[in-house]
Amino acid sequence: MRVLVVEDELRLAENVARSLRESAGYAVDIAADGQEGLFLAESNPYDVVLLDLMLPKLDGMELLGRIRQSGQHTPVLVLTARDDKESVVALLNAGADDYLTKPFDLGELLARTKALIRRGKGQPSPVVVIGDLELNTVNRTVQRGGKAITLTAMEYRVLEYLVHRPRAVVSKTELLEHLYDYNWEKFSNVIEVYISGLRRKLNQGSSRQLIRTLRGQGYMLQD
Ligand code: CA
């Protein structure tokens, strides 16, 4: 999963980004002003956007309006300061999905971010079940047929993305764009390695292949 953080307080933005990377395994891009935020939001497929309101160049409310006018459904969590003039009602009416008042607890931010990503992908439960595969997004564990499977951090991230797009053809580019930050093109050769590692681990003790390769198109997770 890939998150955009639009926040001009650099220290806060970096704390949030570190927490998302380390505790959730998400890729994170940071924009330090509203214009950069809008540019990134329009040019990349984020799974969620964390948006400060008081921003240089283009304020958060304006940015939110522009994203929604362009028809983007990406969930947006607004970070509000106590003295922000916008009311919660105005925020929600402008297309925000949730909000959090500063100063906030990073654990709460993480939980709300995960919940928004899940809902954005039509998977409200934190435990995703596909056939005999079970993926727990809270403690990042995987089981197949009731048996725990140990994955590397990147294998888990690939599988987490695929289980949120079940029975869909997911191209290598889509995976790269959602698993890495703006540097994603540098990693284009590694996806096959993670997929083959995942296949080997998921198939222990089971003959049914969960991840199909569609030549020239991508991958499909199905039970
Ligand atoms: Ca600010």
Give distance in angstroms: CA of 63 to centre of ligand 1: 13
In whole angstroms, what is the distance from residue 92 CA to residue 77 CA? 10
Q: Are 183 and 28 in contact (CB under 8 A)?
A: no
SS3 of 11-33: HHHHHHHHHHHHHHCCEEEEECC
**Is the per-residue pLDDT at 116 higher than 90?**
yes
Domain ranges of the chain: 2-120, 127-221
Q: How far apart are CA 161 and CA 24, in angstroms?
A: 12
Element (H, E) at 110: helix 106-120
Per CATH, domain 2-120 is 3.40.50.2300: yes
pLDDT in tens, 10-34: 999 999 999 999 999 999 999 999 9
CATH code, 127-221: 1.10.10.10
Mean pLDDT of all residues belonging to the chain: 93
- pTM for the structure as a whole: 0.93
- H-helix or E-strand containing 194? helix 191-202
Q: Give the environment of ion ligand 1: residues with CB less than 5 A.
A: 8, 52, 54
The arithmetic mean of pLDDT across residues 157-171, rounded, is 95
CA distance 45 to 25: 17
Ligand 1 mean position to 64 CA, how many Å?
A: 15
Cα 9 to averaged position of ligand 1 atoms, centre (Å): 6
Q: Please report which helix (H) or strand (E) contains residue 77, including its range.
A: strand 76-80
Give the Å distance between the CA of 176 and the centre of ligand 1: 30
Distance from the CA of 100 to the center of ligand 1, in angstroms? 13
